[in-house]
Amino acid sequence: MLSVVRFALLCLFIAAHTLAGVAHAAHAYAQFGDIKYPAGFANFEWANAKAPKGGALSLAPPLRITTFDKYNPFTLKGTAPPGLTTLVFETLLTGTMDEPTTAYGLLAEDIDVAADKLSVTFRLNPLARFHDGTPVTAADVKHSFDMLMSKQASPQFRVRFSDVKEAVVVSPRVVRFDFKTNSAELPIMVGGIPVFSRAWGGGKPFDQIVTDIPIASGPYRIGRLNIGRDISYERDVKYWGGELNVRRGTFNFDRITYKIYKDTTAQTEAFKAGEFDYIQVFRAREWARTYVGKKFDSGELIRAELKPKNAGDFQGYLINTRREKFKDIRVREALGLALDFEWMNRQLFFGAYTRVRGFFNGSDFESSGLPREDELAVLEPVRDKLSAKIFKEAVPLPPSAAPPGGLRANLIKAKQLLADAGWTYRDGALRNAKGDAFKLEYLDSGGGEQVFAPYRQALEKLGIDATYRRADFALIQKRLDVFDFDLFTVRVPGDESPGSELLDRFGSKSAATEGSSNLIGVRDEGIDYLSQQVAAATTRPELVARLRALDRVLRHGHYVVPQYYSGVFRIAYRSGKFEQPALAPLYYQPEDWVIRTWWKKG
């Protein structure tokens, strides 16, 4: 699967997402609805303010992370270690796990949104300090923004912050961001920019800052490491923000260590042997068959299924539409018909999964049936750029291979679609008019062989030569950055308030920008317009209607082969070592919850 790295960066930088403006300085900002916590609140409800500091936590990142070779997570080349952005870097604002569209001051002690919403001003906390003891200044904030917007940084930042005109130093502790448009999302977007010292790298070009230890302000510093393998973060005993209400009761461990393994077997056996304390398990078969036994029966190891209120994840085989063979929508639809989810869920997944239907599963943003009046109002301005089916037909659902039709009926339909697109079976293969055989390669970093095998068998019945290619994720990332792939699996965690990151994921400009998140290569004026409308939403009903419209258009385009998602998080951890707050948050990712709120048992 595609590393959550790219998407985890975005989640840190935008933290809670967007805010609805006030025309005076405030301690927080909310895009939709009221701010839950008043000025001067003690701590977030989901954190235990009395949690003691101390002890150590060791965990294993997902297997897609098999190495690291840099400490600059903001450039395109190379792989940064897990945990770096969350533990070492900080932002002007920080999110809360019980309000998806609200953020509170962190490096900034207050936020002032202009009445016309064309700028936002942050006043920095005078206590804020980098790890080298120097104060965090407005000039550092501007430097951070300018570096991220430069061509030396990953291109996703230039896409995401394209509506930000500039950062202006008003005074040593005051920085203002000017906007090209008055989108309600922009204040929190810039509030989520990671801030680092101007001294980091000693004046080197940003893309040449590789192994220089970051000069940031977070609660942890980089500690002991085995380069490319394991890394520890040591809690900064002089951390400036320990008594802030947004930090009270969080980041309680003295040391957090990530243990990196090359394959599932080694990782699982290491966990059972006590080499690390916590892991999230993504595969249902592994959960059912491997995370069982005497140590779980005795209570030495704990397995738990968490049920937050998160929107459902998106996961699917992304189809690289830059390839000539995938440009015809009928070909892409045929590929979707060859996946027998019902059989796989029954035989491989122990019935643990729900079928992915679209891009915003299990949320208010998921489209259904025919477009409603509010959706039609969103779609109407680009009617001439969209297929007529979008207005006349129900939004496509993933094909079912359940009886009475079964997979055979789906393959018959797929065969006809391929023939209509100019692909017919002859001379032992599916061929186009030029005689070229239809070949397809699925790129994977490991673990997907068993799932791909039945899909490959179905593709081969259509005459498609489907190949499984496994490689180290660092090598895969290089291929993804230049869009050199046919099919690749991506998992995108559910989001309670999608916004301008969709411009990078689906925008035409990103399709031609190496390193962007638009892996499927969408180039569509209608989708560009809808993505921009999502980013410009000022009310919750507007956001819902615009996201449903976007979901509908994307699903009619058959850009992905929908896979499956789970309604629970599966985690395992060592018993007797840790405690956790009595109140769990509403919206969270398990690893983030653990490293932020758990503590060593006394």
Q: Where are the domains of the chain?
A: 4-32+55-260, 314-565
User: What is the pLDDT confidence band of residue 431, given thresholds at 50, 70 and 90?
Assistant: very high
533-590, pLDDT tens digit by residue?
998 898 899 999 999 999 999 999 999 999 999 989 999 999 999 999 999 999 999 9
In this prediction, residue 228 carries a pLDDT of 74
Residue 11 has pLDDT above 50, yes or no: no
Residues in CB range of 342: below 8 A, 6 or more apart: 400, 401, 402
Answer yes or no: are the C-beta atoms of 320 and 431 closer than 8 Å: no
pLDDT recorded at residue 472:
85
For residue 479, which of 469, 492, 464, 466 has the smallest C-alpha distance?
A: 469
Q: Which pairs with CB-CB distance under 8 Å and at least 24 residues apart come from 164-168?
A: 164/189, 164/190, 167/141, 167/142, 168/142
Region 314-565: CATH code? 3.10.105.10
Query: At a CB cut-off of 8 Å and minimum separation 6, what does 328 contact?
Result: 421, 422
What's at 322, amino acid-wise? R
pLDDT for the residue numbered 246: 98
- Cβ neighbours, 10 Å, residue 517: 26
What Rg, from alpha-carbon coordinates, does the chain have? 24
Q: What is the pLDDT of residues 261-273, one digit of tens each?
A: 988 889 999 999 9
Model confidence pLDDT, tens digit, residues 228-275: 789 999 999 999 999 999 999 999 999 999 999 988 889 999 999 999
* Least confidently predicted of 21-35, 146-160, 379-393, 510-524: 21-35
pLDDT value of position 226: 86
pLDDT at 231: 96
335 three-state secondary structure = helix
pTM of the model: 0.87
Confidence at residue 329, expressed as pLDDT on a 0 to 100 scale: 98
Are the CB atoms for 165 and 157 separated by under 8 Å?
no
**Residue closest to 116 by CA, chosen among 179, 192, 161:** 179
Q: Are 334 and 459 in contact (CB under 8 A)?
A: no
The DSSP 8-state label assigned to residue 2 in this structure reads: B
User: Can you tell me whether residue 49 is helix, strand or coil?
Assistant: coil
Q: Which one has a higher pLDDT value, 12 or 470?
A: 470
pLDDT, residue 22, reads 36
- Write the DSSP symbol of residue 27: S
Nearest-angstrom CA–CA distance, 75 and 479: 16
Q: Give the Å distances, CA to CA, from 191 to 239, 278, 532, 550.
A: 20, 31, 20, 26
Q: What percent of the chain shows pLDDT beyond 90?
A: 85
Nearest to 164 by CA among 185, 143, 186: 186
On the question of pLDDT at 10 being above 80, the answer is no
Mean pLDDT over the full length of the chain: 93
- Those residues with Cβ within 8 angstroms of residue 204's Cβ, 6 or more apart along the chain or in another chain: 212
Phi, psi of 255 (to 5 degrees): -145, 135
Residue 363, amino acid: S
Please write the tens of the pLDDT for every residue from 363-407.
Answer: 999 999 999 999 999 999 999 999 999 999 999 999 999 998 899
Q: From CA 47, how far away is CA 417, in angstroms rounded?
A: 54
pLDDT score of 283 more than 70: yes
Q: Which fold has domain 4-32+55-260?
A: D-Maltodextrin-Binding Protein; domain 2 (3.40.190)
Predicted confidence (pLDDT) at residue 294 exceeds the cutoff of 80: yes
* Cβ neighbours of 495 (radius 10 Å): 24
Whether 185 and 18 have beta carbons less than 8 Å apart is answered as yes
pLDDT at site 229: 85
Of the pLDDT bands very low, low, confident and very high (cuts 50, 70, 90), residue 602 is confident
Report the run of H or E that residue 171 belongs to, with start and end.
Answer: strand 164-171
Contact 488, 480 (CB under 8 A): yes
Q: Does residue 20 have a pLDDT over 90?
A: no
The values of phi and psi at residue 541, to 5°, are: -60, -40
Is residue 224's pLDDT more than 80? yes
* Residues of the chain above pLDDT 70, percent: 96
User: What pairs with residue 258 in β-bridges?
Assistant: 59, 231
pLDDT at residue 6, as a whole number = 38
| pLDDT number for residue 523 | 97
Per-residue pLDDT tens digits for 49-107: 999 999 999 999 987 777 899 999 999 999 999 999 999 999 999 999 999 889 999 99
- Scan for tokens 């061929």, then name that residue: 431
pLDDT tens-digit series, residues 151-181: 999 999 999 999 999 999 999 999 999 999 9
